Amino acid sequence: MAQVIDRGRARCAGFGEFVWIWNAMMGLGLPGHHRDMAVWLEVCWKAGKGQLLLMAFRNSGKSTLVGLFCAWLLYRDADLRILVLAADLGLAKKMVRNVKRVIERHPLLVGLLPEKRVDWGTQRFTVERPGVLRDPSMQAAGIGGNITGSRADVVICDDVEVPKNSDSAHKRAELREKLGEIAYVLSPDGTQIYVGTPHSYYSIYADEIRAETGETAPFLAGFERFCLPILDEQGQSNWPERFPTLKIEEIRTHTGERKFASQMMLKMLAPSDGILDPARLHRYGDDAVIEQANGALRLSIAGRRMVAGACHFDPSFGASGGVPGGANGGAHDGAVIACVYVCERGEYWLHDMAWLTFDPTRLHEADEASQICAKAAAFIRQNHLPSVRVETNGVGRFLPNILRRALKQADWAASVVEHHEAKNKDARIEDAFGAVLSAGLLHAHARIWQTPFIREMREWRPGEGRGRGRSKAGQHDDGLDAVAGCLIHEPVRLPRVEKARSGGDWRPAGAAFSARNGFQP
């Protein structure tokens, strides 16, 4: 919250004026977008808005301007305590060092220089202030550092999200957990300012709910936002003096479309392309319809008759709690079951899938395997599946008989096919999805977007899983593996092609002729 303290000054300079004086000393002008940022920061501060997000394109000078804002805050109130957090300590120290230099040279800040510069380093410094406080005026810390004992009135989160801590669900969960510590560091009326660019579809800066991660609100819900992409709505540069149109197109060409969209246009995308693009899925919302005709059952979806179906069950023991396979999930496999139908045109319909867990509080009633198999049996019955393929690697070797018993208890007749998987998981997923997605043959029910499957598609990178002998690194692919099992083990069905009517053959000797066959040699 804003703290307006005038220590005997005839007039306290506004932030825009403060920046203009500094830029004039440095022989620099004041770009229009810097003026807009300065006005926004000052207005929000004076209005007491304590949650701010400043997103601007790379190399826009946003961190430099926020550093000047920190110096201006100390100019207004020398007793303020400012903490700078960044993805690593080196980046945080960079802002602290720049603010220290501003204080040493800005003509309005002469009174902040202490006579004895005891606490005056690049990681932390303390200005001349009336209060006797335990924490310095400004200090730097990496997001992975220990800030438990720190207290601050302003916390600057400068590029806390970077590719190395946002490229998997596990890393993003860790980042959010660490940022949650700010609530215990910040004073009750303190201010948080996030500064950065997005590096993931599931970025902390996203303003929409990502339901498949289990969140009920965006991470920065309620924050005031200032977003400045490199191009405005008319396609013109927001900093034409530094980035003319030709320079922008050069950046787009050299960095690639996705990275340009992420870092320069502030789109919530991973900077690098994923192999499996969810945009290639055909989304539908129709339920499966079972009807009887001519003494036979018929299953159809969206008016299409289904002629085959596949169900793949990859078992694992995971206790319930949180979102199965979600951001808080562990690195181990989750028990996943999926069903895919095939229509008469040879297209695939991913109709349903589930992450199965057991309830530890019910272990006195049924063991882990029985609970999971009971849920699998209910899934099979609900989707009218005549058979299920069970992967018998690991714990799966003991489950087929338990699943058969669960199906009998559920009063559903379905064959249980045991399958030992020996093929590399990465190769399996690539083989299953590659051609089907490229040809646009895979449909997916709207409920699939409420599961971790879509996130797994966006983030899957071959070679980062155990299939190539590397560490899991937080990458989840259990849903992908289950659907791949359905696609691989269901034979390709070609649509019926009616024979075309012949219009005659124009080639010589191409027409039919009759030959005499009743002659004697």
Burial class (CB in 10 A: 0-12, 13-18, 19+), 371: buried
Q: What is the pLDDT of residue 35?
A: 96
CA dist., res. 485 & res. 393, Å (int): 13
Residues 47 and 161 in one domain: yes
Q: Please tell me whether residues 329 and 444 are part of one structural domain.
A: yes
Cα–Cα distances in Å, from 436 out to 72, 447, 498?
58, 20, 23
In a domain, 250, yes or no: no
**Residue 80: is its pLDDT beyond 90?**
yes
**184 within some domain:** yes
CB count within 10 Å of CB 211 equals 13
Spatial CB neighbours of 97, under 8 Å, sequence gap ≥ 6: 122
Residues 96 and 202 in one domain: yes
Q: Using alpha carbons, select from 307, 303, 330, 304 the residue that is nearest to residue 317.
A: 330
Ranking 23-32, 99-108, 151-160, 363-372 by mean pLDDT, the lowest is 363-372
Query: 218 is written with which tokens?
Result: 């965006």
Please give the Cα distance from 127 to 133 (Å, whole number). Answer: 11
**Lowest-pLDDT choice from 60-64, 453-457, 486-490:** 486-490
* Residue at 263 is within a domain: no
| 218: pLDDT strictly greater than 50 | yes
Does residue 185 sit within a domain? Answer: yes
- Does residue 327 carry a pLDDT above 50? no
- Distance (Å, rounded) from C-alpha 329 to C-alpha 213? 10
Asked whether residue 478 is domain-assigned, the answer is yes
Q: At what angle do helices 89-105 and 62-76 cross, to 10 degrees?
A: 50
Closest C-alpha among 484, 432, 480 to residue 452: 480
Strands 335-343 and 348-356: antiparallel
- Both 216 and 289 in one domain: the answer is no
Percent with pLDDT over 70 in the chain: 85
Q: Bridge-partner residues for 339, per DSSP?
A: 311, 352
pLDDT of 182 higher than 80: yes
Q: What is the pLDDT of residue 302?
A: 93
Which pair of structure tokens corresponds to residue 498? Answer: 């009616």
Q: Quick check: 157 and 195 in contact, CB under 8 A? A: yes
Q: In terms of domains, do 220 and 293 share one?
A: no
Of the candidates 484, 447, 476, 436, which has an alpha carbon nearest to the alpha carbon of residue 459? 476
CATH number at residue 22: 3.40.50.300
Indicate whether 354 belongs to any domain.
Answer: yes
Q: 165 is written with which tokens? A: 């801590």
373 falls in which pLDDT band (50, 70, 90)? very high
- Whether residues 305 and 198 share a domain: the answer is no
Sequence-ordered list of residues with C-beta below 8 angstroms from that of 358, at least 6 positions apart, any chain: 317, 318, 319, 320, 368, 371, 372
In a domain, 352, yes or no: yes
Q: Are residues 414 and 303 in the same domain?
A: yes
Mean pLDDT of 204-225: 91
pLDDT, residue 510, reads: 56
pLDDT computed for residue 214 by the predictor: 80
- Tell me which of 206, 228, 250 is where a domain ends: 228
Residue with token string 């071959």: 462
Strands 82-86 and 289-293 turn out to be: unpaired
Residues 224 and 283 both lie in one domain? no
Q: How far is CA 451 from CA 276, 407, 454, 497, in A?
A: 16, 25, 7, 37
What pairs with residue 305 in β-bridges?
A: 300
Q: Can you give the pLDDT at residue 57?
A: 97
Q: Is the pLDDT of residue 123 over 50?
A: yes
Compare 495 and 252 and report the one with higher pLDDT: 252
For 235, the token pair is: 């396609």
Q: d(Cα 280, Cα 267) in Å, to the nearest integer? A: 19
Q: How confident is the model at residue 467 (pLDDT cuts 50, 70, 90)?
A: very low
CATH code for position 327: 3.30.420.140
Same domain, 35 and 172: yes
What's the DSSP call for residue 231?
A: B
Phi, psi of 484 (to 5 degrees): -60, -40
- State pLDDT tens for residues 419-447: 888 788 888 898 899 889 988 999 999 99
Q: Phi and psi at residue 356, in whole multiples of 5°?
A: -100, 130
For the residues 263-272, what does the mean pLDDT come to?
86
* 7 within a domain of the structure (yes/no): no
User: Residue 311 in 3-state DSSP?
Assistant: strand
Residues 209 and 302 grouped into a single domain: no
- Provide the domain count of the chain: 2
The answer, yes or no, to whether residue 37 has pLDDT greater than 50, is yes
Check residue 87 and give its pLDDT. Answer: 94
**What's the pLDDT score for residue 328?**
42
The tokens for 490 are 């269901």
pLDDT for res 334: 65
Out of 228, 247, 262, pick the residue that ends a domain.
228
State the average pLDDT for the chain: 86
Q: What is the mean pLDDT of residues 354-364?
A: 89
Report which secondary-structure segment, H or E, holds 407.
Answer: helix 399-409
Provide the percentage of residues in the chain whose pLDDT is more than 90: 63
Mean pLDDT calculated for residue range 201-219: 89
Q: Are residues 25 and 89 in the same domain?
A: yes
Amino acid 464: pLDDT: 61
List the helix and strand counts (H, then E) for the chain: 13, 16
Domain containing 32 equals 15-228
Kindly report the pTM of this predicted structure.
0.74
Sequential DSSP letters for 74-114 = HHH-TT--EEEEESSHHHHHHHHHHHHHHHHH-GGGGGGS-
Q: What span, in angstroms and rounded, lies between the C-alpha atoms of 12 and 346?
A: 73
Amino acid at the residue 71:
A
Dist. CA 15–CA 45, nearest whole Å: 10
- Rounded to 10 degrees, the C-alpha dihedral 457/462/468/471 comes to -60
Pairing of strands 82-86, 152-158: parallel
Q: What is the DSSP secondary structure assignment for residue 464, as one 8-state letter? A: S
Cα–Cα dist 192/189, whole Å: 10
Instruction: Evaluate if residue 7 carries a pLDDT over 90.
Output: no
Q: What is the DSSP string of 141-154?
A: EETTS--TT--EEE
State whether 294 and 389 are in the same domain: yes
pLDDT average, residue stretch 494-519: 56
Question: What distances in angstroms separate CA 73 from CA 35, 94, 106, 341, 499, one per listed residue?
Answer: 17, 18, 13, 62, 80
> What residues does 418 pair with on adjacent strands?
390
Q: How far is C-alpha 149 from the chain's CA centre?
A: 31
Predicted pLDDT of residue 493 = 54
